[in-house]
Amino acid sequence: MHIMIPRPTWYAWKVWRRNWDVFFKTYRVNFLPPFVEPVLYLLAIGYGLGIFVGEIEGIPYVHYIAPALLAISMMNSSFFECTYSSFVRMYYQKTFDAMISTPLSIEDVIAGELLWGATRSLIYATAMLVVLVAFGVVSLPSSLLVIPFSFLAGLLFSGIAMCFTAITPGIDTLNYPAFLFITPMFLFSGTFFPLSVLPEALQVFAIGVLPLAQVVTVTRSLTLATPLPFFFYSLAWIASCATVFFFLSIYLMKKRLVV
């Protein structure tokens, strides 16, 4: 089969803008989680559990998990946006159908959704960063680089999510990637304990292919202001996979929707 590289255009920003408008219509609901969640985790895990843990690799436990909380938030905000929310817009609300009757192409629509998913990651990571700075658990100014980075990380998770959305038969089957992919990644990506305690095979697997492990590595390097091993590897991994999944998800969505 002849595979066409999708070519989204700047029209994608009109789709992005639609989602942005909806987000800020309900901003009160949307803004609560990024402020409340890190506080709860910091208190319960960072300070509570931290008493028993003390330090990991010479770093106080709260400082150790702060970047992980950022990374998880980037993942969740973009992944769930481009799975459940995009699916609802596509399948139930027929929003995409309405859009493609205008000069927008399906490539533009999906690209707009992906850019929006990335933007959500940026918004949530930024909000959370404010809280973490207030608690004094991240270093400045290097932590500010988390803001642009969260967009890239969000784009990665949006692309992966959109691939699932493109192939899922219904909204219920989206639970599979949520539970079998996101949840394990949440636990085994060097988030709450270092990868080095895992069996070697799992370590190689995590650092080799788990997207969240890469994002945690980069974020932790930024908030601790010291490049960890694999920093550049992880950054390159994220950039190239974000690109691949961006185009792949558009291609798969086009295949699903243009019949």
Partner 1 sequence: MVGKNKGAGHLSFTRKKVDFTERVLFRVNNPSITRKGLPVKPIIEGRGLRKEFGTLKAVDGITFSVMPGEVFGFLGPNGAGKTTTMKMIECVAPATSGILTVFGLDVNRDPRRIKRWLGVVPQETNLDPDFTTLENLLVYARYFGIPAAEARQRSEELLSFVQLSEKRDVPIEKLSGGMKRRLILARALVNSPRLLVLDEPTIGLDPQARHLMWEKLKTLQAAGNTIVLTTHYLEEAERLCNRLVIMDHGKILVEGAPGDLVRQYAGEDVIEADYTPRVVRCLEEIGARFEVHGDMVQVFSDRPKEVATRLLSDCNPGRVFVRRGSLEDVFLSLTGRALRD
Q: Which residues bind partner 1 (CB under 8 A)?
A: 11, 14, 17-18, 21-22, 25, 93-95, 97-105, 258-259
The answer to whether 22 and 122 are in contact (CB under 8 A) is no
Assign 55 to helix, strand or coil.
strand
The C-alpha atoms of residue 14 and residue 136 are separated, in whole angstroms, by: 38
Residue placing its CB nearer to partner 1 in the complex, 93 or 240:
93
User: Which pair of structure tokens corresponds to residue 40?
Assistant: 């709860």
- The number of angstroms, rounded, from the C-alpha of 64 to the middle of its chain's C-alpha atoms is 19
Q: Which amino acid is at 58?
A: G
Q: How far is the CB of 138 from partner 1 (least distance, A)?
A: 35
The Cβ of residue 238 has, within 10 Å, a number of other Cβ atoms equal to: 21
Q: How far is the CB of 199 from partner 1 (least distance, A)?
A: 47
Residue placing its CB nearer to partner 1 in the complex, 55 or 97:
97
Residue placing its CB nearer to partner 1 in the complex, 135 or 256:
256
Residue placing its CB nearer to partner 1 in the complex, 109 or 129:
109
Residue placing its CB nearer to partner 1 in the complex, 63 or 89:
89
Q: How far is the CB of 115 from partner 1 (least distance, A)?
A: 16
Q: How far is the CB of 159 from partner 1 (least distance, A)?
A: 23
Q: How far is the CB of 165 from partner 1 (least distance, A)?
A: 18
Helix 106-135 to helix 27-41 angle (10° resolution) is: 50
Assign 147 to helix, strand or coil.
helix
